[in-house]
Amino acid sequence: MKQSHSFCAGIALALSLLAPALSAQGAQRPVARGAPSLLADATFHPGAYEPVRVFLARGTKYRVEFSEPGIQMDMRSYEGKALPFIIDVNYGADVSGRSVFELRPQVDGVVEFRPAFVESGRAVRFQLWNAATDHSRDATNDPTDSLPLEFGVMVEAGSHGAYVNQLMNYGDKGSSTAACFALRTGPGILSRVWGCAAGIEVAGGGIGGAVPWFFIEPRVRLVGSRRRGGIRLDSGVLLRLAKRARDNKRPVAQDPSGEALDGVGIYAGVQTLESGSGGWGLVASLQAQHISSRASGSSGADTKSFRVTFGRFF
């Protein structure tokens, strides 16, 4: 029991230390949304190419337009950081008479822009626009603000040890199966929180047979990207809170339905996030669990459990 309580305290302390950092990361910078906006508009005159400096945020697409064709763009990081990836949108001859590029920064930073080649005697207009946010970016350090809340179902199977202390036996070791209504993703920092919102577990090894528990199990993702349209690795911590259902095989005086269970643990697995919404998840979890007792003089009992969970989200 002492080991379980120490483990619970350790997890709680870790979460309390991580919460401010996660919140700060979620509010680190705004997410571009809605219609593109003009960030810079300047004219470069022949012989006077004073650079234009603009802050570019990682994970946001930008569009650069020069009013003349055949312009070679010159960029320099004002802070010595990696330069954005460049895509030549209208490579070759262009009927619009413009040079158009798309930029995809990999780091935050201030970038200097200037045309590297301009036909003599002609002024060149430079415009920089930001486009829609790229949801393929890594949300471990930058959660997105526009992810939809997903609903789903989860089923799980596993096993648990015996719940025994010096005074009484709350249940022998056995298998367990469960199903629950689940939630996943959400705006901002809530994209890290998911899990069972309401479920029921049937645990074997009870004195009177299988024991039903009503439970919730929120999970916090600590490691794993926030990618749409792909498979991601996913791991973090979880909290399980459960209440024992009525045991009709016992007398009312011995009914254990007032018993409560709390568990803390870790999980790891894989999840998919479809391009719009939905996907599936397959994870394994290990928990330290404690049953509290209504009996006078009894401190409850501790054990460990292992579960494999599959979920489908819509």
Tokens of 259: 């018993």
Domain boundaries, the chain: 2-28+141-313, 37-133
Q: What is the pLDDT of residue 211?
A: 79
Q: What is the pLDDT of residue 240?
A: 97
Say if CB 182 and CB 151 are below 8 A apart. yes
Q: What is the pLDDT of residue 300?
A: 79
Residue that has been written with the tokens 């895509």 in this structure: 87
Q: What is the pLDDT of residue 35?
A: 60
Q: What is the pLDDT of residue 288?
A: 95
> Which residues lie across from 183 on neighbouring strands?
151, 195
- Top mean-pLDDT range of 26-30, 212-216, 224-228, 247-251: 212-216
Give the pLDDT band (50/70/90) at residue 144: very low
Tokens of 139: 């949300």
Q: What is the pLDDT of residue 101?
A: 86
Say if CB 132 and CB 145 are below 8 A apart. no
Query: What is the pTM assigned to this prediction?
Result: 0.54
Tokens of 261: 């269970």
Q: What is the pLDDT of residue 23?
A: 41
Say if CB 20 and CB 28 are below 8 A apart. no
Average pLDDT score, the chain: 76
- Residue 77: how many CB atoms within 10 A of its CB? 15
Q: What is the pLDDT of residue 119?
A: 60
Looking at domain 37-133, which of 2.60.450.10, 3.40.50.300, 3.40.109.10, 2.60.120.380 is its CATH number?
2.60.120.380
Q: What is the pLDDT of residue 138?
A: 40
Q: Taking 50 as the threshold, does the pLDDT of residue 275 lie above it? A: yes
Q: What is the pLDDT of residue 229?
A: 60
Give the pLDDT band (50/70/90) at residue 133: very low
How far, in whole angstroms, is CA 268 from its chain's centroid? 13
Instruction: Return the SS3 of 305.
Output: strand
Question: Which of 179, 212, 195 lies closest to 283, judged by CA?
Answer: 195
Tell me the backbone φ, ψ of residue 191, rounded to 5 degrees.
Answer: -65, -15
Q: What is the pLDDT of residue 32?
A: 42
Residues of the chain with pLDDT > 70: what percent? 68
| Sign of torsion over alpha carbons 235, 230, 147, 26 | positive
CA distance 184 to 149: 6
Start-to-end C-alpha separation, the chain: 40
Residues of the chain with pLDDT > 90: what percent? 25
